[in-house]
Amino acid sequence: MKLSARNVLKGKVKSVTHGAVNSEVVIELPGGANVVSIITKASAEGLGLAKGKDVYAVIKATNVMIGVD
């Protein structure tokens, strides 16, 4: 797999929660951190996403916001 995105994080699906239109996918990274993505239900089903499956979180953004208290 070749992508133009610079941030590609390999992990395992921790959970998939399907809604009527979208699905929430929680990916556990090797260090134990989680990345959460909302994708279409059709995409989640088409990718065969299920708990324990190896996946990549691909993050491509022109802006990264940072906040503090």
For residue 2, the model assigns a pLDDT of 84
- 8 Å CB contact between 27 and 39: no
Mean pLDDT for the chain? 93
- Give per-residue pLDDT as tens, 17-43: 999 999 999 999 999 999 999 999 999
Rounded Cα distance between 4 and 25, Å, is: 22
For residue 30, the model assigns a pLDDT of 97
Look at residue 60 and tell me whether its pLDDT is greater than 90: no
Look at residue 57 and tell me whether its pLDDT is greater than 90: yes
Architecture of domain 7-59: Beta Barrel (2.40)
Tokens of 69: 């208290």
